[in-house]
Chains A and B, each alone.
Chain A
Amino acid sequence: MALLSYTIRRILMLIPVLFGMSIVVFSIIHAIPGDPALTILGERASAKAVEELREALGLNQPWYLQYFHYLKDILTGNLGVSLHTKVPISQEIGPYLAATAELTVFSMLFAIIIGVNAGIISAWKQNSWFDYIAMLVALIGVSMPIFWLGLMEQWLFAQELKWLPSVGRDSTRDPVMAITHFYIIDTIIAGKWDQLRDVIDHLILPSIALGTIPMAIIARITRSSMLEVMRSDYIRTARAKGLGQFFVIYKHALKNALIPVLTVIGLQTGLLLGGAVLTETIFGWPGIGRYIYTAIGNRDYPVIQSGILVIATIFVLINLLVDLLYAYVDPRIKYR
């Protein structure tokens, strides 16, 4: 019951957050220097075209009216129309979101599996050679420029060794028929197993590039969190009972140690959704990060605004999910 009321309260708290987000996103177009209409149209614009665009964008109205219209639009699910492609954004954004979601899930799987295990072993074997090497790798991982890592991966695994494809989501010579735009699911639906493997092959390099930083962060957090838990009394008790080390660590210690890790996983997943611009650019991945990035280059303000709004909303929702997961992982946490 407490959990239910907590959940409801937590969801109600989202309203001011989302409201604030809409203000920030709305302000983007007004924050840039100069006339947005002229910035959009560029070097060849005639005065008439600039005036028409100002009218079309509603820039001639007072700002509060503009905001009111904007709010009304997004509440009715109208994300606007891309200035660049003239296609409604709500229609365009789906495949990009799917591409990014697929990549994010794979990256996080990579990051969590490697990161959590490396952290546990490091804590377990504190000050051993494994600990030193793992933490050194994690330190390098955190400070690794994704751009460089991605290009190096492509150079080594695609160009030199020819093990893996370097760009895209599928082989251009044998493209996947998009149904849900989640290619893993699409290939399974179509029963094309060679394509499924091809899609997984295409996911590996970008997932590693994107997952390296979260992996390193997760490893470090897991290690320090584990070390703390391992010193606590109940672990000593468990050991005193004569429980095996593996059982103590994975059953008793991990559950408590996982709480800060879960926070980091939630934050990192949110970051990956929007922060994949570099990875998506290097690996020719048609995702949401690049969608927004391209829109910035094209001065396509509706896309920038709506894209950021969508990502920010997902980010907030993931964090909500993480908060709710705490209660599941640790029943000691009481919500008032």
Chain B
Amino acid sequence: MKKRMLTAAFAGLLALSMALAGCGGGQETQQSANNQQSQQPAPAAEPAQTGPKQLIVGRGGDSVGLDPITVTDGESFKVTENIFDTLVSYEEDNTNVVPGLAEKWEVSPDGLTYTFTLRQGVKFHDGTDFNAEAVKFNFDRWMDKNNPLHNKEGFEYYNDMFGGYKGDETHVIKSVDVVDPYTVKFTLNRPLAPFLQNLGMSCFAIASPTALKEMGPEKFNEHPVGTGPFKFVEWKRNDTITLEKNPDYWQKGYPKLDKLVFKVIPENTARLTALTSGEIDLMDGLNPDDAQTVKDNKDLQLILRPSMNIGFVGFNVEKKPLDNPKVREALAYAINKPAIVESFFAGLGQPAVNPLPPSIWGYNSDIKDREFNLDKAKELLKEAGYPNGFKIKFWAMPVPRPYMPDGVKIAEAIQQDFKKIGVDAEIVTMEWATYLDKTKKGEQEIFLLGWTGDNGDPDNFLATLLDKNNIGGNNRTRWANEEAHKLLMQAQSATSKEEREKLYKQVQEIIFKDVPMVPLAHSTPALAAKANVINYKPHPKGSESLEKVDIQQ
């Protein structure tokens, strides 16, 4: 009797576990068959071999919004780049400006008028025409606070890049005028050297005026309409954003894919598992430690994104003894950049020489970096009058950033080397907002920080981080070098790129000699993809349009 009951209970358990396993068991055969051919794991996706080509991109976070002017985050731009186009664009692997929706342009000698000739026959996804009116409509929306489609919070990037809004003293764009249906003229209040460079930023994408007016900005932010290679289909928040091919795209023969899906998988390891098991085709945010695993797997490929950031050790030049350039140089000799890149960036980065990343034009490749040399460092300290070193506070950031994977550990590594030259550095860290606030006010001595580029213009790195006008802002070294300031100001108002390039190269020399900061590394974010994904070219600015990407079948 007892025995029978036990058997019955067991049978119940067994039946349950069979039911659980059964769900998976049936799929096994289908999947292994699929996996050998097309890496399509879901049974329902079987027709994909002959049917539509789709690319599923796994990423760590969801987009904030899909109206590009309202957002500032990379996860949003990754999607909007595929839905929208900008007037000008960048080359595939650097930030040189090339034509986009504008075929060509003319700049007046005084740098105050830009006349763009627009591409003809381009249509928005809602079927309306792209023309000069559409360009004017978008710029009027962005620049005029009284425009009904202007957001009440403003447009952060417009404000930053074009000196505020209409009516503000520093506002750059005086007016945007329609000359004829395919010619649009920008008149500026003052010359702005990076003007074209700015226009290429993902946020200054041209939206369909009709769709914007019909939906209003809030709905448009969730149902974007542009001219880009893919059309918006659906957004499931924190899960997927689905786009489909725009068959009328103005670049003939593109896009290659029929469907493009962005899927959020927050955990880096789980994302790699999903890639390995074929649930997604491409992922970003690969753990540096997993790079080798990807390289060893013949079904996968590793893709490196060129860097557009800088992580640095800054010196507050107002604090003793950091006011002495010799001391700063000595410390620069005592920082072992290659070792730091190797151990903390897992090799996915390059030691930095200049504050400017090499992917940006104007980079001075003639400057040869100081080698790691503790004897030389000691010697310089002696010359500076500190033969026995000194005590100092070393501020380390509390949060990981793309340009600085682990601030405190990197500071500790540098601290060890500083000790060898007699410099006793005490590591200080605090909550992130406080850290930013206090370093802005100049309370720090030595500190770690970094910067990620906005528009790929040298000004966005060199002036932002080191011009004396930005002390109290992003120039946290408080370096107020008159010579550099003069050159940076000249470069801001010069219109010829050659001239600006020359000026920026000079500025980098001054920075290198006077050492207000020691550039540590430019990190190169890693992506991984199925081996059959071709023509994926990651752009240094962090997001790219995928019209050329294809899947080999």
Contacts and interface: CB of A to CB of B under 8 A. Distances in A.
A83 to B, nearest CB: 10
A197 B436 contact: no
Given A173-B56, A201-B27, A294-B238, A194 B43 contact: yes
A162 B437 contact: no
Contacts of A244: 1, 5
B444 interface: no
Contact of A246 (B5, B25, B64): B5
A195 B44 CA distance: 8
A194 B164 CA distance: 54
Nearest to A165: B279
Nearest to B433: A39
Contact of A117 (B5, B9, B269): B9
A60 B548 CA distance: 51
A286 B239 contact: yes
Contacts of B6: 121, 124-125
Contact of B8 (A113, A164, A175, A246): A246
B225 to A, nearest CB: 18
Contacts of A162: 28, 31-32, 35, 41, 277
Interface in A147-204: 150-151, 154-155, 157-159, 161-169, 171-175, 178, 194-195, 197-198, 200-201, 204
B242 interface: yes
Interface string B382-395: 00000000000000
A169 B12 contact: no
Contacts of B82: none
Contact of A245 (B1, B25, B48, B160): B1
Contacts of A114: 13, 16
Contacts of B437: 34-35, 38
Contacts of B62: 294
Residue among A44, A96, A155, A244 with the highest chain B CB neighbour number at 10 A: A44
Given A166-B277, A194-B43, A286-B237, A245 B264 contact: no
Q: Size class of A's contact patch? A: 35 or more
A121 B238 CA distance: 42
Interface in B146-167: 153, 160
Nearest to B451: A43
Given A159-B277, A290-B266, A92 B5 contact: no
A163 B270 contact: no
Given A166-B274, A284-B270, A157 B24 contact: yes
Contact of B266 (A52, A150, A166, A284): A284
Residue among B48, B61, B65, B273 with the highest chain A CB neighbour number at 10 A: B273
B73 to A, nearest CB: 9
Residue among B25, B27, B44, B432 with the highest chain A CB neighbour number at 10 A: B44
A178 B283 CA distance: 25
A114 B1 CA distance: 23
B368 interface: no
A174 B42 CA distance: 8
B70 interface: yes
B221 A155 contact: no
Nearest to B35: A162
B292 interface: no
Contacts of A204: 20, 23-24
Residue among A120, A155, A166 with the highest chain B CB neighbour number at 10 A: A166
B42 A166 contact: no
A167 B270 contact: yes
A161 B280 CA distance: 17
B240 A175 contact: yes
A203 to B, nearest CB: 9
Contacts of A125: 6
B32 A171 contact: no
Contact of A168 (B20, B54, B221, B279): B279
B236 interface: yes
Q: State the majority secondary structure of interface residues on A.
A: helix
Interface in A104-131: 113-114, 117-118, 120-121, 124-125
Interface string A288-319: 00110010000000000000000000000000
B276 interface: yes
Interface in B211-226: 218, 221-222
Interface in B433-451: 433-434, 436-437
B431 interface: yes
A168 B237 contact: no
A42 interface: yes
A282 B270 contact: yes
B273 A154 contact: yes
Contacts of B25: 163
A38 B279 CA distance: 40
A260 interface: no
A81 to B, nearest CB: 10
Contacts of B252: none
Contact of A282 (B40, B239, B261, B267): B267
Given A95-B237, A175-B242, A166 B270 contact: yes
Contacts of A95: 236-237
B464 to A, nearest CB: 10
Nearest to A298: B64
Contact of B261 (A33, A118, A172): A172
B273 A166 contact: yes
A158 B273 contact: yes
B263 interface: yes
Nearest to A299: B433
B277 A294 contact: no
A166 B239 CA distance: 14
B320 interface: no
B44 A171 contact: yes
Contacts of A42: 432-433, 436
A251 interface: no
Nearest to A128: B6
Contacts of A198: 42-44
B11 to A, nearest CB: 11
A164 B27 contact: yes
Given A165-B277, A204-B23, A284-B263, A121 B9 contact: yes
A178 B65 contact: no
Contact of A197 (B1, B12, B23): B23
B42 A34 contact: no
Contacts of B239: 168-169, 284, 286
B54 A283 contact: no
B453 to A, nearest CB: 13
A22 interface: no
Given A39-B433, A114-B13, A194-B44, A163 B24 contact: yes
Complex A-B, nearest 6 residue pairs according to Cβ-Cβ distance, in ascending order: A171-B42, A163-B24, A173-B45, A174-B44, A284-B265, A246-B5
Given A154-B270, A174-B45, 20 more contacts: A33-B434, A42-B433, A84-B64, A87-B218, A96-B238, A117-B13, A158-B274, A159-B276, A162-B31, A162-B35, A171-B45, A173-B44, A198-B44, A201-B27, A244-B1, A245-B2, A281-B267, A282-B270, A286-B237, A286-B239
